Amino acid sequence: MLQDGTMRDFLVLGVESSCDDTAAAVVLSRRDGTKAILSNVTLAQYDRHAAFGGVVPEIAARAHVERIDGIIAHAIETSGHTYEDLDAIAATAGPGLIGGVMVGLTAAKAVALAHSKPLVPVNHLEGHALSARMTEDAAFPYLLLLISGGHTQLIEVSGVGAYRRLGTTIDDAAGEAFDKSAKLLGLGQPGGPTIEAAAKEGRADRFAFPKPLARREGCDFSLSGMKTALRLEAEAISSPTARDVADLAASFQAAIAAHLADRTVRAMELVETTGAARTLVVAGGVAANGAIRSKLEALTRDRGWRLVVPPAKYCTDNGAMIAWAGIERLRVGLAPSFEEALAFAPRARWPLAEPLAGREHGGGKKGPKA
């Protein structure tokens, strides 16, 4: 374990391969608190999976194998540093598609061994949870709304390694709902941006959508009913025009935004009772959605909360957030020994935090990841 973490600079390589992005980045965190993302390389695989209507684990793993070495080398080269300059290597060790996680973690182990550098296995969700601290001024504690293709969770973040999960999806993840619904409407993938674009021309009040889990206590999400409601509305129109598709997209997007906001308010109420700082951090690819952002802006403003949304390229899967999570762990002495890190086995499932009252749900198109 590296000692005296608070009093030094850290230059860390981050490696991410848990889903369909092969990514690597070099991040510098200086002892004076300043930080710099020196390189951030991401290669998506949409082209490889497009024909199958979703991410195919085998194809993803093979694409990671083909690309990972080149992506890591590119991240190092463009950072202006060499492997020898690195203080450590951080890599996603789960949760995610096991084949992909294995590829990235093994590549990171090889770099660590070849250059005798410390290795930090990182929980992908911790990467998302801490990313706002890399790009913004976000002090602990805060409430995190993580909305991506694989995860939809509300987490109270009190410190590095100190997480309390307040809610999670009981079925689909938010991004997954967008992707499946876009397919249903004949729009392109990824579905979030195509639905958002179609919705711009549409009326959000034309179709009524359900309010999932309205009468159930807690902050859990349920998003698969939205997709079903959309399908039923779409099927009721004999030959949908562009206007119909726009109205369907706008109504669907508004319903998702309303559900996310509703759950987030419940979590805010919970956090307010503990007197914790009133900051809401949003991460994950779905955070790019303008309608969802406006909704969250309005509700944080109304309740006197601060809203923090990292730039889109750090909201979606990226290597920089993994490097940053590694840095955060190194600073507080929470990184494992070299031997422990080398022996660390990739994990398909790896909950960041235990659920509030012992409840456990699956969810997400990549299986129950967390």
What's the rounded Cα separation, in Å, for the pair 170 and 101? 24
DSSP state of 83: G
* Closer by beta carbon to ligand KG4, 167 or else 285: 285
Q: How far is CA 54 from CA 49, 183, 194, in A?
A: 6, 10, 15
The two beta strands, 162-168 and 152-159, are antiparallel
Q: Which pair of structure tokens corresponds to residue 333?
A: 């002495």
Q: Applying CB under 6 A, does 207 fall inside the site for ligand KG4?
A: no
Residue 178 touches which of Zn ion, ligand KG4, none (CB < 5 to 8 A by kind)?
ligand KG4
Q: Cβ contacts of residue 216 below 8 Å, gap of 6+?
A: none
Residue 141 touches which of Zn ion, ligand KG4, none (CB < 5 to 8 A by kind)?
none
Q: Applying CB under 6 A, does 14 fall inside the site for ligand KG4?
A: no
Q: Which pair of structure tokens corresponds to residue 85?
A: 């300059």
Q: Applying CB under 6 A, does 149 fall inside the site for ligand KG4?
A: yes
Please check whether residue 230 is in contact with residue 240, taking contact to mean a CB–CB distance below 8 angstroms: no
Question: Applying CB under 6 A, which part among 191-199, 296-304, 324-332, 355-363 lies near ligand KG4?
Answer: 191-199
Question: Applying CB under 6 A, which part among 146-154, 237-245, 297-305, 345-353 lies near ligand KG4?
Answer: 146-154
Q: Applying CB under 6 A, does 190 fall inside the site for ligand KG4?
A: yes
**Which listed residue (29, 39, 42, 148) binds Zn ion by CB under 5 A?**
148
Phi, psi angles (nearest 5°) of residue 229: -60, -40
Q: Applying CB under 6 A, does 218 fall inside the site for ligand KG4?
A: no
Please check whether residue 349 is in contact with residue 160, taking contact to mean a CB–CB distance below 8 angstroms: no
* Closer by beta carbon to ligand KG4, 74 or else 293: 293
Q: Applying CB under 6 A, does 175 fall inside the site for ligand KG4?
A: yes
Q: Applying CB under 6 A, does 94 fall inside the site for ligand KG4?
A: no
Helices (H) and strands (E) in the chain, counts: 12, 10
Count residues near Zn ion (CB under 5 A).
2
**Which listed residue (45, 152, 279, 289) binds ligand KG4 by CB under 6 A?**
289
Burial of residue 216 (CB within 10 Å: 0-12, 13-18, 19+) is: exposed
| Span 234-273, contacts to ligand KG4 by CB under 6 A | none
**Quick check: bond before 336 cis, omega within 30?**
no
Q: Cβ contacts of residue 182 below 8 Å, gap of 6+?
A: 188, 189, 190, 191, 192, 194, 195
* Amino acid, single-letter form, for residue 275: G
**Which listed residue (12, 13, 15, 19) binds ligand KG4 by CB under 6 A?**
19
Q: Applying CB under 5 A, does 20 fall inside the site for Zn ion?
A: no
**Which listed residue (288, 299, 320, 348) binds ligand KG4 by CB under 6 A?**
288
Question: Applying CB under 6 A, which part among 65-73, 144-152, 198-206, 261-269 lies near ligand KG4?
Answer: 144-152
Question: What is the four-CA torsion angle of 89, 92, 93, 94, rounded to 10 degrees?
Answer: 170
* Cα dihedral across residues 297, 300, 306, 312: positive or negative: negative
* Closer by beta carbon to ligand KG4, 156 or else 317: 317
Q: Applying CB under 6 A, does 233 fall inside the site for ligand KG4?
A: no
**Which listed residue (117, 317, 341, 348) binds ligand KG4 by CB under 6 A?**
317
Question: Applying CB under 6 A, which part among 25-33, 172-180, 218-226, 293-301 lies near ligand KG4?
Answer: 172-180
Would you call 38 helix, strand, or coil by DSSP? strand
**Which listed residue (317, 320, 346, 353) binds Zn ion by CB under 5 A?**
317
The residue ranges that bind Zn ion (CB under 5 A) are: 148, 317
